[in-house]
């Protein structure tokens, strides 16, 4: 056991709220980070397969982003500019238009929100309600969309929901792709419910979905299902909101998680890896005809983080100006799948989940998954779980992880699994 784990009288124990979470299982005092590695105060190194929950898709302290940010600060560049015009905002928007929106034929406008994903989701839901004059929003089982009241209403997880302390209204829950197994087509189910005058679902303002459920267990919807949900939204006058906060920015192998699916989301929410550097920044993409908020109708003091604009522009230009990075991601996703197949084979009914560089293994129970992650941490790998019972061991390595480091991290994960599989049952039997 690392020495820190035995400490009970740290400043964190004394003063930090019980609401803290990740640090409980990974109590090291981290002081440095570089690329795909985290280093603690005692000089111990961990390979990072959590990557700030996919906020660090380009790794820690990317040298080009770091240099640009240091230059910006050293030159007295704007640090906070409300939503005033700044060179940093213009440069980010230009890079995003040129390398992301135009090549994908997207006519969306960019709306900066407060810097958290939840705030982007709040804004998206409000826009859909304003556009349609309807209140109901359809969200799916195991969806995670943030924990502020509006976004929490769309989030499925009961632990998070009960934290609201109030009724969470305005959302109808529907089964996600595959929820009832192969036998039931949940897009057909939704179609039937919406079509029936007595189906009991109020006409929806929007349908919101993740293409791969980040917190909800890495279930990946099929392209066909997503396309049919898009068609249903359009047929019923609802907006399609794709929450790409975790699955976007390359995580699924392309910049957006829904590319090559022939869908046109009315709104796309983005946050997490958008700044590229781990700085808070969120925004939504909205089709021009739905860009209906008046000035500051959805406001926020920190709409657009100027430092994040600086690093986000570098991220876009460095990784997305041509398709070389994207091609690397395909190769890494295959490598990941191969290693996860070995892990899945170790546990009874182990199942590979997700796609791209957002994959993991359902190991059957949260206790088993926690044992694997705990062993991995002891061996120098930071990794977390996902799912309605935290039963999925989830790999979110930085997309830039060098192949050698990736192999090393996966090797640690497999070693950890070898030691941990079956251990909960053995302990229970003792």
Ligand X SMILES: *Cc1c(COP(=O)(O)O)cnc(C)c1O
Report the interface residues with ligand X, using CB under 6 A: 116-118, 121, 144-146, 210, 214-215, 243, 245-246, 271-272
Residue nearest to ligand X (CB): 117
How crowded is residue 196: how many other Cβ atoms within 10 Å of its Cβ? 10
Q: At 411, list the tokens.
A: 């090797």
Nearer to ligand X, 77 or 280 (CB): 280
Q: Are 275 and 281 in contact (CB under 8 A)?
A: yes
Closer residue to ligand X in complex, CB, 116/391: 116
Token pair, residue 148, equals 């502020």
Retrieve residue 140's tokens. 């799916």
Q: How far is the CB of 392 from ligand X (least distance, A)?
A: 14
| Residue 205 Cβ vs ligand X, minimum distance, rounded to whole Å | 18
Identity of the residue, 357 or 421, whose beta carbon is nearer to ligand X in the bound complex: 357
CB of 270 to ligand X, least distance (A): 10
| Residue 87 C-beta: closest distance to ligand X, Å | 26
For ligand X, the closer of residues 225 and 371 by Cβ is 225
Q: Which residues of 71-99 are buried (b: 16+ CB within 10 A; e: fewer)?
A: ebeeeebbeebeeeebebbebbbebbeeb
CB of 104 to ligand X, least distance (A): 20
Nearer to ligand X, 241 or 314 (CB): 241
Rounded Cα distance, 240 and 251, in Å: 21
Least distance in Å: CB of 48 to ligand X?
17
Q: Which is nearer to ligand X, 117 or 354 (CB)?
A: 117
> Which is closer to ligand X, CB of 271 or CB of 314?
271
Report yes or no: 393 and 363 within 8 Å, Cβ to Cβ. Answer: yes
CB of 147 to ligand X, least distance (A): 7
Nearest distance, CB of residue 111 and ligand X, angstroms? 16
Q: β-strands 30-34, 267-270: how paired?
A: unpaired
Closer residue to ligand X in complex, CB, 125/412: 125
């Amino acid at each position: 056991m690392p020495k820190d784990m035995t400490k009970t009288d740290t400043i964190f124990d004394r003063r930090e709220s019980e609401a803290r979470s990740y640090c409980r299982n990974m109590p090291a005092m981290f002081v440095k980070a570089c690329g795909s590695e985290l280093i603690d105060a005692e000089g111990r190194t961990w390979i990072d397969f959590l990557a700030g929950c996919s906020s660090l898709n380009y790794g820690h302290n990317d040298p080009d982003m770091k240099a640009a940010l240091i230059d910006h600060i050293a030159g007295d560049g704007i640090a906070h500019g409300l939503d005033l015009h700044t060179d940093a905002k213009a440069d980010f928007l230009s890079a995003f238009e040129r390398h992301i929106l135009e090549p994908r034929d997207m006519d969306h406008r960019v709306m900066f929100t407060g810097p958290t994903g939840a705030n982007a989701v709040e804004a998206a839901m409000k826009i859909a309600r304003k556009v349609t004059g309807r209140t109901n929003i359809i969200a799916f089982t195991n969806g995670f969309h943030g924990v502020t009241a509006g976004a929490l209403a769309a989030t499925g997880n009961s632990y998070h929901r009960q934290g609201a302390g109030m009724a969470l209204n305005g959302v109808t829950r529907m089964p996600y792709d595959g929820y009832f197994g192969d036998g039931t087509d949940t897009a057909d189910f939704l179609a039937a419910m919406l079509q029936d005058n007595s189906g009991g679902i109020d006409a929806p303002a929007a349908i919101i979905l993740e293409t791969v459920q980040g917190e909800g267990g890495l279930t990946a919807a099929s392209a066909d299902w997503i396309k049919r949900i898009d068609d249903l939204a359009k047929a019923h006058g609802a907006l399609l909101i794709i929450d790409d906060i975790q699955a976007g920015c390359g995580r699924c192998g392309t910049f957006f998680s829904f590319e090559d699916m022939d869908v046109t989301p009315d709104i796309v929410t983005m946050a997490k890896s958008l700044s590229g550097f781990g700085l808070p920044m969120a925004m939504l993409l909205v089709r021009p005809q739905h860009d209906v908020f008046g000035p500051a109708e959805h406001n926020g003091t920190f709409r657009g983080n100027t430092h994040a604009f600086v690093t986000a522009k570098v991220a876009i230009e460095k990784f997305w100006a041509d398709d070389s990075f994207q091609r690397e991601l395909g190769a890494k996703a295959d490598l990941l799948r191969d290693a996860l197949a070995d892990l899945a084979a170790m546990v009874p009914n182990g199942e590979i989940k997700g796609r791209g560089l957002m994959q993991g293994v359902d190991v059957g129970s949260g206790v088993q998954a926690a044992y694997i992650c705990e062993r991995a941490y002891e061996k120098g790998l930071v990794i977390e779980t996902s799912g309605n019972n935290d039963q999925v061991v989830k790999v979110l390595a930085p997309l830039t992880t060098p192949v050698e480091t990736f192999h090393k991290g996966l090797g640690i994960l497999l070693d950890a699994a070898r030691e941990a599989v079956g251990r909960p049952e053995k302990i229970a039997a003792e």
